[in-house]
Amino acid sequence: MRTSPEGRATGLPLSPSSRGNRGRRLRRMLHPDSSPFLYLLPTVLFIAVFLAYPVFEVIRGAFIHNVPIRPWEEQGFVGVANFWALFRSESFHRALRVTLLWTLLAVAGKMLVGLVAALLLQREFPGRRVYLTLMMIPWVTPIVVAAVVWRWVLNSQYGQLNGLLDLLGLPVVPWLGQSGTAFVATAVVDMWVGIPLVAMVLMAGLQSIPDELYEAAVVDGAGAWQIFRQVTIPLLRPVLLVILLLTSVWTFNSFEVIYPLTRGGPAGATTTLVIEAYRTAFGSFDFGMASALATVIFLILLTISIFYWFQLTRRS
């Protein structure tokens, strides 16, 4: 029903032009440019329910003493006692050292081999597509399945690697049975899993560099090493920082590789922080200490991410 300019009802229906204006206003209100938060709401709710809430619960649990298998102990809020006990624990310091060294070794191997593979595979040559397909096999293989297969390969008694050494007349090695070899073997398996992604991302970054810059460098008399150092690396730095951040976080949190291979052994040689948190939660059932350890891991990774973010924005 229409209304007069004085506000009284006239009893007449809306004209087609009025309905059209109302429809246009409604479409403008619902347009993504006018109401972006309406379209972001499902994503925000998903993040809040499945990411933010679990993180909040873990952080809250870090301030609570919660050991279900010891009901005689008082359960409840204990402040920073869990963190204090964690930082005084020798197992935490050992796991932290193992995590940092293991992550450094695995990330360095992934970045170095991935960069070399990207440089080799970005050029056209016979069989290039075959090599690209073969390179993606480790990445598309489920990590736990790959770790179990590598556990068979590295087995000291019937593993294929020791079988090859025995065939060549070389002494067999207990790859997963002694600290040094287990540490390196698990890092190599993690490299095998992660190198394809690094190589593919860096290949995409290399292909975005204009050929004219390489041609100009050649005209100026630059050699291959000078071109790589002064043209390729500076222009590839944003991509390098992004993939380095992702690889560092994923490697730091690697559980699917280490646990199927060594369970954190032998003698704690491959017990990283995530393995220690798993043992604390589901071995000792000390969920308060496990939450404190998970919170420390979260803060370490958050610090690394912020550092990389500032590096990336500063370079940009």
pLDDT at 4: 46
pLDDT at 1: 47
pLDDT at 39: 72
pLDDT at 15: 55
67 belongs to a structural domain? no
Please give the torsion angle defined by the CA atoms of residues 200, 201, 204 and 210, in that order, rounded to the nearest 10 degrees.
-130
For residue 266, cis peptide bond before it (omega within 30 degrees of 0): yes
pLDDT at 5: 47
pLDDT in tens, the chain (316 residues): 444 444 444 554 545 555 556 666 656 665 666 667 777 788 888 888 888 888 899 999 999 998 888 888 888 899 899 999 999 999 999 999 999 999 999 999 999 999 999 999 888 888 888 888 888 888 888 999 999 999 999 998 888 999 999 999 999 999 999 999 999 999 999 999 999 999 999 999 999 888 898 889 888 888 888 988 888 998 998 899 999 999 999 999 999 999 999 999 898 999 999 999 999 999 989 999 999 999 999 999 999 889 888 877 775 5
Whether 164 and 229 map to the same domain: the answer is yes
Single-letter residue type at 293: L
**Enclosing H/E stretch for 144:** helix 143-153
Whether 194 and 284 map to the same domain: the answer is yes
92: left (phi over 0), alpha (psi -120 to 50) or beta: alpha
pLDDT at 110: 96
82 belongs to a structural domain? no
199 belongs to a structural domain? yes
Q: What is the pTM of this model?
A: 0.84
Query: Could you list the residue range(s) of the whole structural domain that residue 47 is in?
Result: 16-61
pLDDT at 9: 46
- 240 Cβ neighbours under 8 A, 6+ residues apart: 111, 202, 205, 233
56 belongs to a structural domain? yes
pLDDT at 2: 46
* CATH code, 214: 1.10.3720.10
Beta bridge partners of 77: 64
Whether 192 and 280 map to the same domain: the answer is yes
Contact 278, 168 (CB under 8 A): no
Whether 27 and 146 map to the same domain: the answer is no
Cβ of 277: how many Cβ atoms within 10 Å? Answer: 21
- 109 Cβ neighbours under 8 A, 6+ residues apart: 187, 188, 191, 195
Whether 23 and 128 map to the same domain: the answer is no
Whether 267 and 307 map to the same domain: the answer is yes
